[in-house]
Amino acid sequence: MTFAGLSAFPITPMTADGCVQADALGRVLERLRRPELTSVGLLGSTGTFAYLSRAERRRAVAVAVEVLGGSVPLMVGVGALRTDEASALARDAAEAGADALLLPAVSYTPLTQEEAYEHYRAVAAATDLPLCIYNNPGTTHFTFQIGLLQRLAELPRIAAVKMPLPATGTVAVDLATLRGTLPAGFAIGYSGDWGCADALLAGADTWYSVIGGLLPDIALRLAAAATVGDRAETQRLDASLAPLWALFRAHGSLRVIHVMAQQMGLSDGLLPLPLRPLGATIRDQIAAATEALAE
């Protein structure tokens, strides 16, 4: 497992009451049997991990292991409120055949930096798999201070961090700060599809991509161009995706990507309640933005 290149994050088609639709998940994952992908990130935020029971998460991992068949490394999200639950999910993923773990700092009572450290230390020790820190303050409302990231990066098996786009300043400055403080070889990647072209051009190791989980071809082309420093081609491809990026930012990438999967005939799964589907006007805008990519 290498934390580099394009990591594709698929949806988890499910019923409104949280049951995984195995056939639909299989169809989504079949599109990701691509050796150019460096990993598939199952059960991330795009995969609505927080709405699934432990049994349904195990079911999703089993489907992914069977469909991918080792063609692409599988990274599984194991976020949970309690440390014992997250550790159990980590062991489930390892026993099922996952190649790496992704752990967000899920909380209800806000975590202290020390509480988060002990949480990550315990979950990392639960298996022999490498673990990526999922830094997602927009959802978890927890902010990793640099000192905490430094401590975590020194722990066995914690090998990477999935960063959000910076709230202020440029991703290049943010990446340079992290490179200057974290150990050499510790992988730094970004999510937030609309800013990841800049992140890759600045030298980030990984693009953790929502669009890559559904449209891997264009995401792979963008990642390949950025990785070799072809700024003109990277910006051209990024511009072609700009209408989708605008919809992601306005309505949430999770809602938009579910509509795209439905429009492509891959899934009739529902967003878990209380999340509500997008209206007809927005769905038409999503269809137009997706169709434009094929022109």
Residues 201-260 pLDDT 10s? 999 999 999 999 999 999 999 999 999 999 999 999 999 999 999 999 999 999 999 999
- What are φ and ψ of residue 134, in 5° steps? -105, 105
- Beta strand 158-163 with 39-42 is unpaired
Percentage of the chain exceeding pLDDT 70 = 100
Q: Which residues are catalytic?
A: 134, 162
- In sign, the C-alpha dihedral spanning 146, 149, 150, 151 is positive
pLDDT for position 91: 98
Question: Which whole number is the average pLDDT over 123-134?
Answer: 98
CB-based contact 126:90 (threshold 8 Å): yes
Question: Whole-prediction pTM value?
Answer: 0.96
Computed over every residue of the chain, the mean pLDDT equals: 96
Distance CA 247, CA 45 (A): 17
CB-based contact 220:193 (threshold 8 Å): no
CB-based contact 92:57 (threshold 8 Å): yes
DSSP structure class, residue 162: E
17 band by pLDDT with thresholds 50, 70 and 90: confident
Q: Which helix (H) or strand (E) holds 259?
A: helix 253-263
133 band by pLDDT with thresholds 50, 70 and 90: very high
Percentage of the chain exceeding pLDDT 90 = 96
- Residue 6 class from Cβ within 10 Å (0-12 exposed, 13-18 middle, 19+ buried)? buried
pLDDT for position 16: 80
Q: Tokens 């202020």 identify what position?
A: 168
Distance CA 295, CA 284 (A): 17
CA angle 28, 29, 30 (to 5 degrees): 95
Residue (of 21, 7, 11) closest to 48 by Cα position: 11
pLDDT for position 1: 85
Largest CA distance in the chain: 51
CB-based contact 64:249 (threshold 8 Å): no
pLDDT > 90? residue 294? no
Q: Which of 14-18, 66-70, 114-118, 246-250 has the lowest mean pLDDT?
A: 14-18
Question: Which whole number is the average pLDDT over 114-118?
Answer: 98
- Residue 265 class from Cβ within 10 Å (0-12 exposed, 13-18 middle, 19+ buried)? exposed
**What tens digit of pLDDT does each residue of 88-97 get?**
999 999 999 9
Contacts of 251 (CB under 8 A, 6+ apart): 278, 282
Distance CA 269, CA 278 (A): 14
pLDDT for position 295: 59
pLDDT for position 124: 98
- In sign, the C-alpha dihedral spanning 119, 120, 121, 125 is positive
**What tens digit of pLDDT does each residue of 27-48 get?**
999 999 999 999 999 999 999 9
Length of the chain: 295
